Structure 1
Amino acid sequence: MNIPSPKPRKERTENAEKRRAQLVDATLRSIAANGLAKTTLATVAAEAGLSQGVAVFYFKSKTALLTGALRALYDRYDATWREALARAGNDPVDRLAALVLADFDPEICNAETLSVWFAFWGEQKFTPQFAEVSAEYDAARGGAIRDICAELRPGADREEAARIADWIDTLTDGYWQHLHVFPEKNSREGAARAALELLATLLPEHADRLRR
């Protein structure tokens, strides 16, 4: 009797990564369509075109699956703003504008993705795994904004730079909420222009460049 040879380790690893990514993408689609509470291993498996057993094999529980999906969502967001910074070069004004405008990139800021972000944020208080993932990624981006603000205000202390960074974050978060709740009254382009106007107000010495 011929016994089939086991797949090479590399192929097994690639297949596993493909299945996990397939399930994560299906999770995000399920949350957008059904909400967080009604997203289950079963709805995700159906969305992915896989058996529920496959979903259980890779993620063990709904919480693990949702946490993996949130991390994937943050990975995409993280890559977007880091790539924007890399393209902006070394000038701190260009870097700050790029970082803020990255929040309104259509791949990140769209109706489906915003619905998923707010679904997760609404559960952070009750699911510590979600809060831990958010804190990890938010710390990196917050640190990047504070560093740029400190560079733009060399005579100021770190607390002032931190306050400016917090104001910027609060504004962009607020525009995300407006776009999510009142999409018919708001647009990504309008929100991006308003965010740059705020930067110009907070940093008047760079206003002309930020209003470009």
Structure 2
Amino acid sequence: MSEAQLKRPRKERKENAERRRRQLLDAARRSILTHGLAKTTLATVADEAGLSQGVAVFYFKSKAGLLTETLRDLYSGYEALWTSALEGAGDDPVDQLRALLDADFEPAACGPDVLPLWFAFWGELHFTQTYDEVADSFDTRRSEALSAVWRSVLRDASEEEAAQMAEWMDTLTDGYWQRLHLAPGSFDRRDARRAAQECIARLVPQLGRIAE
């Protein structure tokens, strides 16, 4: 680090570092969309960001480190989306479920520039331990939160039954994400959200108003 950089206020140095890191993570996403996961490198990311490869190495050390943090960033954005939706839904668990379903079909969760990233990484989860660990950490928190909502909805249900409903709900939305990814011209996010709402309402008749 140069003498001039050292003289900068610590807050300014931190903000600049965060800005550069964000720039590289966004560039990594664009590189994956353009080149695919396997062909994305520190060089392709640096080129997308308009930076030197040395800057990418400084912040992420290696391709593996950069891609792992890109996946973590993808999950962090999704988690922020659904937790915000849950917090804004109020105390009614049916409203909470509807808010979670709505969040799952927001562009930030499954838009055309996001779905290819999910499926690129998911295809490598069981071959790359660090990806699997990142996914497991976020998925566990999601499962716990969703199970808690279902326990509030199904007052007489056991923890196992609530967890099963949470798993079914996430599997349902994952399936619609896959359809949106593979056949985007024949289906859109609004159709998928409506279908998911109606399916949940049929599984649990007392939730009929979830599809209103």
TM range (shorter): over 0.9
User: How far apart in 2 are the matches of 1:155 and 1:125?
Assistant: 36
- The 5-angstrom pairing of residues 154-169 of structure 1 reads 154-169=155-170
Could you give the per-residue CA deviations for residues 66-90 of structure 1, whole angstroms, max 9, x where no partner exists? Answer: 0111111111101110111122111
The number of residue pairs the alignment matches comes to 209
Aligned equivalent of 1:210 = 210
The secondary structure found in structure 1 opposite 2:88 is helix
Matched, 1:112 2:117: no
Paired letter, 1:211: A
Q: CA deviation at 1:142?
A: 1.1
User: How far apart in 2 are the matches of 1:195 and 1:82?
Assistant: 19
Q: CA deviation at 1:206?
A: 2.0
Paired letter, 1:135: D
- The 5-angstrom pairing of residues 31-46 of structure 1 reads 31-46=32-47
Q: CA deviation at 1:108?
A: 1.8
Could you give the per-residue CA deviations for residues 60-118 of structure 1, whole angstroms, max 9, x where no partner exists? Answer: 00010001111111111011101111221110000011112211001221111000010
Gaps of 5+ in 2: none
Aligned equivalent of 2:48 = 47
- The 5-angstrom pairing of residues 180-199 of structure 1 reads 180-199=181-200
Could you give the per-residue CA deviations for residues 156-206 of structure 1, whole angstroms, max 9, x where no partner exists? Answer: 111111111111111100000000011111110110001101110121112
Aligned equivalent of 1:59 = 60
Gaps of 5+ in 1: none
Whether the 8 Å CA contact 1:164–1:202 is kept in 2: the answer is: no
User: How far apart in 1 are the matches of 2:136 and 2:203?
Assistant: 26
Paired letter, 2:99: A
User: How far apart in 2 are the matches of 1:90 and 1:98?
Assistant: 12
User: How far apart in 1 are the matches of 2:111 and 2:206?
Assistant: 33
User: How far apart in 2 are the matches of 1:210 and 1:63?
Assistant: 42
Task: Name the Cα RMSD after superposition.
Answer: 1.1
Runs of 4+ aligned structure 1 residues displaced above 4 Å come to none
